[in-house]
Copies of this chain bind each other. A is one copy, B any other.
């Protein structure tokens, strides 16, 4: 029996999560045992396990498997699932380093890795020394996640052709997300009305990294022709941008109980998002002054955040972002009309676009 995207079970997020998490858990258990056997610290693999267990949508593995089916892959061979899991392990590196750079206290409703490791010190450090230790340990745990994502890929059991097809895509994906992060980090704290820069961050950090490349990687594993990869790009970029624009809205107007992230963080950090750029572009002089005062203020209170939200809403920026999401969603579906794919594959991609755009977390 073959499994295709038409079989609604095959790409059910819960099923993908279960299979991917099994691979990650096996891998980290082996790392625990190896560390213990060599008297190495087990805190690193434990921190990573805790981080992965705390949640996350496993979106990149889901997209990788979607790419596999869309390009005609059959069933779910273990090497393909393990490659999907490698993307999640790489993503753990990005998030752990991201939280450190954003100085976030929580992620997925739990303390971030640098906070956990800072609080866990067994040498009696307190205050800034404990914070610094937590930060340093989180740099290393992120680095380990990065090199372990490679190890997952190298040991997945891919054929030589599969490996040589996906390595350039993985290399490209990793440079793209790092560049996107670099743009993001240098812009954060000093947002302005430069929508182009905000869209570049959105494209590199999310559209390419989160959507396009995982689809490409899965499709390449199935031996996709260039025309399929091009059609996937034409669909993925607008869907990915819509996904990030939704994220920006949720980061400011979302319910922390649903998103698992404090609704203050983006405002307090002064994130240079399309939402904020549009607000600054359409705000009155006095609104601009107020926003500049509030955005990026490390001591932002809930009341001040509420004031910032009111101003953003008053400029109409949130509605403009909603329109941009709708426009990109329509464009993505339009692209599918000429895509060289089976109806079942097209259904899977349509479903994906729906989930990316209409989510609440």
Q: What is A's interface to B at a CB cutoff of 8 Å?
A: 31, 35, 38-41, 43-44, 93, 97, 100-101, 103, 121-125, 129, 132-133, 135-137, 139-140, 142-144, 146-148, 150-151, 154-155, 160, 164, 167-168, 171, 174-175, 178-179, 181-183, 185-187, 189-190, 200, 204
Please state if A190 and B146 are interface contacts (CB–CB under 8 Å): no
Please state if A101 and B139 are interface contacts (CB–CB under 8 Å): yes
**Taking A148-B175, A150-B150, A174-B147 as contacts, is the C-beta distance between A137 and B182 under 8 angstroms?**
yes
Please state if A183 and B136 are interface contacts (CB–CB under 8 Å): no
The 5 closest A-B pairs by CB, nearest first: A101-B136, A147-B174, A123-B190, A151-B171, A40-B179
**Taking A124-B190, A125-B189, A190-B124 as contacts, is the C-beta distance between A183 and B143 under 8 angstroms?**
no
**Taking A144-B175, A171-B150, A175-B144 as contacts, is the C-beta distance between A129 and B189 under 8 angstroms?**
yes
Please state if A137 and B186 are interface contacts (CB–CB under 8 Å): yes
- The majority secondary structure among interface residues of chain A is helix
Please state if A147 and B178 are interface contacts (CB–CB under 8 Å): yes
Q: Which residues from B are CB-within-8-Å of A155?
A: 171
Shortest Cβ gap from A100 to chain B (Å): 7
Please state if B178 and A144 are interface contacts (CB–CB under 8 Å): yes
Please state if A200 and B150 are interface contacts (CB–CB under 8 Å): no
Q: Which residues from B are CB-within-8-Å of A179?
A: 35, 38, 40-41, 44
Q: Which residues from B are CB-within-8-Å of A144?
A: 175, 178
**Taking A178-B143, A179-B44 as contacts, is the C-beta distance between A185 and B150 under 8 angstroms?**
no
- 14 A-B residue pairings within 8 Å (CB atoms): A40-B204, A41-B182, A41-B186, A97-B140, A123-B187, A123-B189, A123-B190, A125-B189, A137-B186, A140-B182, A147-B175, A147-B178, A148-B175, A150-B171
State which of B139, B154, B174 has its C-beta within 8 Å of the C-beta of A168.
Answer: B154
Shortest Cβ gap from A312 to chain B (Å): 21
Assembly CA distance A132 to B186 (angstroms): 10
**Residue of B whose beta carbon sits closest to that of A200:** B39
Assembly CA distance A136 to B38 (angstroms): 32
Q: Which residues from B are CB-within-8-Å of A97?
A: 139-140, 143
Assembly CA distance A77 to B40 (angstroms): 37
Q: Which residues from B are CB-within-8-Å of A38?
A: 179
Please state if B44 and A178 are interface contacts (CB–CB under 8 Å): yes
Q: Which residues from B are CB-within-8-Å of A168?
A: 154
**Taking A189-B125, A190-B124 as contacts, is the C-beta distance between A183 and B151 under 8 angstroms?**
no
Shortest Cβ gap from A265 to chain B (Å): 15
Q: Which residues from B are CB-within-8-Å of A133?
A: 185-186, 189
Assembly CA distance A125 to B188 (angstroms): 11
Most buried by B among A147, A154, A187: A147
Q: Which residues from B are CB-within-8-Å of A93?
A: 143
Assembly CA distance A100 to B182 (angstroms): 17
Q: Which residues from B are CB-within-8-Å of A125?
A: 189-190
Q: Which residues from B are CB-within-8-Å of A136?
A: 100-101, 185
* Other A-B pairs, 10, CB within 8 Å; known A41-B179, A124-B190, A133-B189: A41-B186, A44-B182, A97-B143, A140-B182, A144-B175, A146-B146, A147-B174, A150-B150, A154-B168, A155-B171
Assembly CA distance A150 to B136 (angstroms): 23
Shortest Cβ gap from A11 to chain B (Å): 28
